[in-house]
Amino acid sequence: MGLPLMINDDDNNNKVELSRVAVSDTHGEDSPYFAGWKAYDENPYDETYNPSGVIQMGLAENQVSFDLLENYLEKKNPEGSLWGSKGSRGFRENALFQDYHGLKTFRQAMASFMEKIRGGKASFDPDRIVLTAGATAANELLTFILADPNDALLVPTPYYPGFDRDLRWRTGVRIVPIHCDSSNHFQITPEALEAAYETARDANIRVRGVLITNPSNPLGATVQKKVLEDLLDFCVRKNIHLISDEIYSGSVFHASEFTSVAEIVENIDDVSVKERVHIVYSLSKDLGLPGFRVGTIYSYNDHVVRTARRMSSFTLVSSQTQHMLASMLSDEEFTEKYIRLNRERLRRRYETIVEGLKKEGIECLKGNAGLFCWMNLGCLLNTKTKEGELELWDVILKELKLNISPGSSCHCSEFGWFRVCFANMSETTLEIALKRIHEFMDRRRRF
């Protein structure tokens, strides 16, 4: 073997180049949203070993009903996590299974579960379900299918900070914000829709669709039925798509307060209207299983389903995961009990944090869903600017040791709002977080 080639580090021409995607800053991870996670990772709170550490309130993770899952998988149905009654033959079938469609039993179980959490008000065809490795992959895959580089999706603000990465980074697609404000509880208006569309058109950007989260992340509130109808009418008039990310649909505190876009589509016969609607779902939030990486695309467009299935080869769900979850989701007694208790527990947890904040004079947007509340600290800002908001966020992170997400990281047009997660911790930890806020507010009142 010869000696390695000596390269002069001062010679820029000899530097190995990377792709435009690799060096792009559209990954979005320079946001305070991700900076807060880093601060938590470096000094995580632990009740015993690090009681003065950072409490993670920036992670929308559902742990309030994890005991139900553990009890089912480990005690009531241990074979569901292995290979069932087929033994080694079952192992062979699943180990060699590679069909991009996914296990039929799992797609049927997913369709049934999606119907249950919508109270049977919408039906889902298992053959229209495309499996992906989580909702992140589902949203990106849909973006690849519906839009070309430099096209745009309209997204209402405030929105999930991860969309800056998920929708833009690898696809080259842009996000044009639909600016919403607190005057109507951040609901989307026809005027805001038109303004966003015109902003894109004035910049010679082609709009390919509208993407919403329902229930909203970060607002923790459902989208009204009339707003959904207006959105679909808008998309028909502009001849664009409507993507509804409904990963928190089973986390609505009262089922009657949620309307899925699927319910609206159910009553439409015109195929040209239906085929522009696509739904994203996942088991990461409602079931609290983010590590399993199970997401779905449900589309009313045959071409989108076929293309998504072909592209899903880059983001498959393991056969073992499908097998285990098919067993659990097919158990009607368990799923009905889980959905009911999970809603009740989330509602109680939400009431705990909102009432605790209210005692300190802190108001939150009225919410009815999700794993977080939308907290208004506008009265504490030194200046009603992004800089003023981030200054307060820095104090909360470094002095209170609470990681919450500033509204500006969600592209909120009003400064002083923060997303605060409450379902990824014990009740004891939540009480400690509220105690830190009480002490902080008490100091502010004295000075």
Task: Classify residue 255 as exposed, middle or buried by CB count within 10 Å of its CB (0-12, 13-18, 19+).
Answer: middle
The reply to whether omega before 158 is within 30° of 0 (cis) is: yes
Cα distance between residue 210 and residue 161, in whole Å: 16
Tokens (6 digits) for 364: 């939150």
Distances (CA, A) of 193 to 98, 154, 188, 231, 258: 42, 8, 7, 8, 22
In the chain, what is the straight-line distance between the N-terminal and C-terminal CA atoms, in Å? 73
- Three-state secondary structure string covering 199-244: HHHHCCCCEEEEEEECCCCCCCCCCCHHHHHHHHHHHHHHCCEEEE
Cα distance between residue 145 and residue 141, in whole Å: 6
Closest CA to 228 of 273, 198, 269: 273
So which residues are the catalytic ones? Answer: 160, 245, 247, 285
- Give me the phi and psi of 406, to 5 degrees please: -70, 145
Tokens (6 digits) for 21: 């995607």
In the sheet that 277-282 helps form, which strands lie side by side, from edge to edge? Answer: 129-132, 295-299, 277-282, 241-245, 207-213, 152-156, 174-178
Task: Classify residue 41 as exposed, middle or buried by CB count within 10 Å of its CB (0-12, 13-18, 19+).
Answer: exposed
